[in-house]
Amino acid sequence: MIERAWEKQIEPLTVRISTAVRITGLSRSRIYELIQSGDLETVKVGRATLIQYRSLKGLTQIERQ
């Protein structure tokens, strides 16, 4: 498959919890704690819990400051 330059720049709208764990380095239980506290916004699609990518990105930007 050929990847176009603009496709590399598109950010996902949501990510699965397993992906959030991988890209943040946080534990799965910490991700669930952040969801419970409201620090991460989620959406349910069927049985899947998806984390809003902008919420996840905002969390990591706050922790850097």
pLDDT, tens digit, 9 for 90 and up, residues 2-46: 666 666 688 899 999 999 999 999 999 999 999 999 999 999 999
Residue 61: the pLDDT is 75
Say how many CA atoms lie within 13 Å of 28 toward its Cβ: 5
Q: What is the CA radius of gyration of the chain?
A: 13
Structure tokens at 35: 């969801």
The pTM assigned to this predicted structure is: 0.76
Query: Residue 44: which H helix or E strand, with range?
Result: strand 42-45
CATH level 3 topology of 11-64 = Arc Repressor Mutant, subunit A (1.10.10)
Q: Look at the block and give the residue holding tokens 């990510």.
A: 15
